[in-house]
Amino acid sequence: MTRTETSTVDTATLWGGKISPFSTSYGKLMMWFFLISDALTFGGLLVSYGFTRHSAQSAWPIGEETFNSLPFLGHGYPLLYVALMTFILIVSSVTMVLAVEAGHRMDKKGVIKWMIATIIGGFFFVGSQAWEWYHFIHGSEFGKIELNDGSRAIVKGHFGEIKNFTVIESGKHHSKGAVITKDLLHTYQHAALDGKIKDGTITLHDGSKAKINKAEDEHVKLIIKEDGANFSTGKTIEGMEAKKLYWEAMNSGIPNRVTYGANMKANEYGPQQYAQYFFFITGFHGFHVFSGVIINIIICIGVVMGVYHKRGHYEMVEKTGLYWHFVDLVWVFVFTFFYLI
């Protein structure tokens, strides 16, 4: 079997027909097949999310109640941040398709320009997601509270700033009369979790007791998420009554009545599975975006070095483009089913 023999074999027998039934190259076809399987993975994740949600109907959190913050501006902006993220991803998808279009004209400079824009957009999205996760994990200043009748409520409104702790009973480090002004919210939240807040005083780590000086809360609103003796799921309580109920529970000195933020075991937004799905679905998608950025960088280096120009076509850009658009496509669905509905 020599090389000359191979080249004389009829291509019809060699390759089973030299024309692709789909008029497309091998690489592109395989990328499509990979994307179908990946789409099934995401489809499975979102459908299982739907299953869990439908089997826990009323307790499930609502998107605009959970995601209503903007960096530097605080709360009260429902869905705006995630809308911004969606927009960033759509724009980076557009720049990618422009890179592909430039490739079709063999315009090397154009491909480089648009690919760099895509990479920047990708980094912006990953960064936004990092902020979103940080915010989700840390949660609000109020947390979710178990009221005195046993019902559990999420709390909306403006948390009055803690000004200082005035020590009223000496401990190991702090003596009576001292005023603590550092790390207040953090100390306060830890004490609240341990049930060390009672009637407006806080028991600090060293055993000293201090009075909490705090500004008044505003626009407090309780939304009941778990039934209790007096309140049932879905009820909202506003105004003075909400404030009174919240602080009665807070000042009871009983541990574990409040939940701040989210982890794999508990979260302040809703059932345990809610945070788990949030971490898994947005995390898996974020990982896709991240690997997409890496692949884009590698291909961009190839473009700069002229690898594809020598080859006579920019199909590699087209293939990474397919992957990148797919990531955008998945986000469109995550956005609807996780945040909007």
Partner 1 sequence: MERDDIYEYSLDTHHSEEEGKKVRSKILKVTVILTLITIVEVAMGAFIKQGTGIWPIVKWSFIVMTLVKAAYIVLVFMHLGDEKKSLRYIILLPYLVFIIYIIFILLYEAVELDALLKLYMGL
Minimum Å distance from CB 173 to partner 1? Answer: 47
332 binds partner 1 (CB under 8 A): yes
Residues contacting partner 1: total by CB under 8 A? 69
Q: CB count, 10 Å around CB of 266?
A: 14
43 binds partner 1 (CB under 8 A): yes
Of 255, 253, 250, 185, nearest in space to 222 by CA: 250
Nearer to partner 1, 272 or 336 (CB): 336
269 binds partner 1 (CB under 8 A): no
16 binds partner 1 (CB under 8 A): no
Among 30, 41, 44, 255, the residue binding partner 1 under the rule CB under 8 A is 44
Nearer to partner 1, 34 or 247 (CB): 34
Helix (H/G/I), strand (E/B), else coil: 180: strand
What is the full DSSP assignment across 20-34?
-TTSS-HHHHHHHHH
CA-to-CA distance for 111 and 324, rounded, in angstroms?
15
Minimum Å distance from CB 304 to partner 1? Answer: 20
Whose tokens are 């076509």? That residue is 313
Q: Which two tokens stand for residue 293?
A: 């950025």
Nearer to partner 1, 233 or 251 (CB): 233
Among 30, 73, 74, 87, the residue binding partner 1 under the rule CB under 8 A is 87
Contact segment (CB under 8 A) with partner 1 among 32-40, 130-138, 153-161, 283-291 equals 32-40
Task: Please enumerate in sequence order all residues whose Cβ is within 8 A of that of 189, keeping only pairs 6 or more positions apart, or say none.
Answer: 141, 143, 260
Q: Which two tokens stand for residue 182?
A: 């550092």
The full 3-state SS of 87-101, as one line of letters, equals HHHHHHHHHHHHHHH
Q: CB count, 10 Å around CB of 271?
A: 18
328 binds partner 1 (CB under 8 A): yes
Contact segment (CB under 8 A) with partner 1 among 208-216, 278-286, 296-304, 331-339 equals 331-339
Sign of the dihedral defined by the CA atoms of residues 309, 315, 320, 324, in that order: positive
333 binds partner 1 (CB under 8 A): yes
DSSP state of 252: B
Minimum Å distance from CB 140 to partner 1? Answer: 18
Helix (H/G/I), strand (E/B), else coil: 120: helix
Backbone angles phi, psi at 210, to 5 degrees: -135, 150
106 binds partner 1 (CB under 8 A): yes
Nearer to partner 1, 217 or 318 (CB): 318
What is the full DSSP assignment across 69-80?
EETTTEE--TTH
Q: Which two tokens stand for residue 186?
A: 């953090």
Among 2, 55, 183, 240, the residue binding partner 1 under the rule CB under 8 A is 55
Residue 111: C-alpha distances to residues 32, 289, 308, 321 (Å)? 22, 20, 11, 11
CA-to-CA distance for 197 and 211, rounded, in angstroms?
10
83 binds partner 1 (CB under 8 A): yes
93 binds partner 1 (CB under 8 A): yes
By CB under 8 A, what part of segment 206-265 binds partner 1? 234
CA-to-CA distance for 86 and 293, rounded, in angstroms?
16
Contact segment (CB under 8 A) with partner 1 among 99-107, 154-162, 181-189, 252-260 equals 99-107
Site string for partner 1, 300-319 (x = CB under 8 A): ------------xx-x--x-
- Judged by the rule CB under 8 A, the positions of this chain that interact with partner 1 are 3, 7, 11, 15, 18-25, 28-29, 32, 36, 39-40, 43-44, 47-48, 50-57, 62-64, 78-80, 83, 86-87, 90-91, 93-94, 96-98, 100-101, 104-106, 234, 312-313, 315, 318, 321-322, 325-326, 328-329, 332-333, 335-336, 339-341
